[in-house]
Amino acid sequence: MGKGNHSKSKYKNKGWLDTLKSIVICGVFGGVLGFFIGDFFNPWLKSDNIFIGLLKFYGLIILFVIGYIIHIIIHEAGHLIFGLLTDYTFVSFRIGSITIVKEDGKLKTKKFNIPGTAGQCLMMPPKIKDGEFPFVLYNLGGVIINLLVSALCISTIVLIKEMAFVLEVILLLAAFAGILAAVTNGIPMKIGGVPNDGHNIYSMLKDEDARRGFYVQLEVNGLQSLGIRMKELPLSKFVLNNNADVSQPLNTAMRLMEYSYHLDHLDIESAKTCLLSLTEHMDRIALLFVNEINCERLFLELVTDCDKSTIDRLYNKKLKKYIKASRFQMSKKRLMMAYEIYYTKDINKALQFYKEGKNLASNSPVKGDADMELMLLDWLKVKLL
């Protein structure tokens, strides 16, 4: 018992250290930014009118935020470029909820979102050769392009002497937004429990399980995008080693893929056992995964025991907010359909979620997953008859 508490305390402390690390890095970056370019912005900010001065100050903040958003797109494009250079193949490119996928040899636009993520570039990794595959450049691609664009912005300011001051301001803010994006993605750390690119590289360089987990995630996502279902893949692909730490994000994702395999087979008991193996580590698992795990725990509780107290405990304000934010995910329509069937017993609302889930299928960027969700929606609909 004492050992378990010590372990939990250790991981909680590590979580606080990760958070502190990101705060310190951003704080240092802000301090350096202010020190070096404070004088540069003084002519812009100086005004006898306080209102105008504040307006200009907040204008700088807005420009910086816009620059950072643009660098998110640039960052994901960097993954795409360096992925292609190292024999990865394009699967999808997402900014916000807008997702570009390759389907039937053509680029198509779909809608999909993952709360807590601004964008994502997913690619199919090349075949493993001699137990190895390229992962450093693919992960570093975003950071490299962020830095190159920032260097280009600064070089433009230095080389063009007669540039308008407003344009200099925009370019300088864009440069620092890119440097911030590179720093927060390149220095190994976890943000909200989710590892950044630098942390992924660090983990994979020292841990074979992490390399396998990263590869399998990309490979399975690529296969599902082609229409292959989880149940069509061998279970051995997802099974972790006995001593694997399931709280590590790459391993958590593997266990959730194993869960999807059982769910696709409608093996509810095995799916439940799979989730149960994660629940005792919830205080160490990244929030993004915690929300997904709780959604599936709620679903399984609804379709099995349907215990009111358990459902009320799981379906709290935080989870409701997460489900609402995941409006383009078929799995959430399936969950809410089950909630209306088994908990509220509102058939009309259940059918409404059924229709909404069906409508999302054609817009899903992951065809194999969409086919599984369609099967589950139809499985639930049978319960209404």
296, 259 in Cβ contact below 8 A? yes
Instruction: Provide the percentage of residues in the chain whose pLDDT is more than 70.
Output: 85
Q: Whole-prediction pTM value?
A: 0.83
Give the pLDDT score at 381.
Answer: 96
Q: Which whole number is the average pLDDT over 41-45?
A: 63
Rounded Cα distance between 239 and 75, Å, is 32
Q: Are 61 and 34 in contact (CB under 8 A)?
A: no
pLDDT in tens, 308-356: 999 999 999 999 999 999 888 999 999 999 999 999 999 999 999 999 9
State the CB neighbour count (10 A cutoff) for residue 134.
16
Q: Long-range pairs for 95-103 at CB < 8 Å and ≥24 separation?
A: 95/119, 97/328, 99/365, 101/225, 101/365, 103/367
CB 200 within 8 A of CB 214: yes
Encode pLDDT of 73-86 as tens digits: 999 999 999 999 99
Residue pair 116/288 in contact (Cβ under 8 Å)? The answer is yes
In which order are the strands placed within the sheet that holds 119-124? 106-111, 98-103, 89-95, 119-124
Beta carbons within 8 Å of 149's beta carbon, 6+ residues apart: 71, 74, 174, 175, 178
Confidence at residue 11, expressed as pLDDT on a 0 to 100 scale: 41
Compute the mean pLDDT over every residue in the chain, rounded to the nearest whole number. 87
Which residues, in sequence order, are CB contacts of 358 under 8 Å at separation 6+?
A: 374, 377
Strand-pairing partners, residue 106, are: 103
Pick the residue with more confidence: 287 or 8? 287
pLDDT of residue 257: 96
Q: Comparing C-alpha atoms, which of 208, 179, 183 is closest to residue 197?
A: 183
User: What is the gyration radius of the CA atoms in the chain, in angstroms?
Assistant: 23
What's the rounded Cα separation, in Å, for the pair 338 and 350?
A: 7
Report how far residue 240's alpha carbon sits from residue 252's, in angstroms, rounded to the nearest whole number: 10
| 61-114 pLDDT tens trace | 898 899 999 999 999 999 999 999 999 999 999 888 888 988 878 888 887 777
Closest CA to 263 of 199, 335, 327, 172: 335
- Asked if 169 and 63 count as a contact pair (C-beta separation under 8 A), the reply is yes
Task: Give yes or no for residue 8 having a pLDDT over 70.
Answer: no
> Is 12 a residue whose pLDDT tops 50?
no
User: What pLDDT is attached to residue 353?
Assistant: 97
Where does the pLDDT of residue 207 fall: very low under 50, low under 70, confident under 90, or very high at 90 and above?
confident
Tokens encoding 67:
């620059």
CA distance 165 to 126: 47
Per-residue pLDDT at 17 exceeds 60: no
pLDDT at 233: 96
186 CB burial (10 A radius; 0-12, 13-18, 19+)? buried
36 confidence band (pLDDT: 50, 70, 90): low
- Is the CB of residue 286 less than 8 Å from the CB of residue 192? yes
Residue 53 pLDDT:
67
pLDDT 10s digits, 20-32 = 666 666 666 666 6
pLDDT at residue 1 tops 90: no
pLDDT of res. 139: 96
The string of pLDDT tens digits covering residues 142-197 is 999 999 999 999 999 999 988 888 898 899 999 999 999 999 999 998 876 678 99
CA angle 93, 96, 102 (to 5 degrees): 25
Q: What is the C-alpha to C-alpha distance for residues 248 and 226, in angstroms, rounded to an integer?
A: 28
CA distance linking residue 58 with residue 380, whole number of Å: 51
DSSP state of 237: G
Position 47 confidence tier, pLDDT thresholds 50, 70, 90: low
pLDDT score at 208: 85
Distance CA 317, CA 322 (A): 9
Q: How many CA atoms within 13 Å lie on the side-chain side of 8?
A: 9
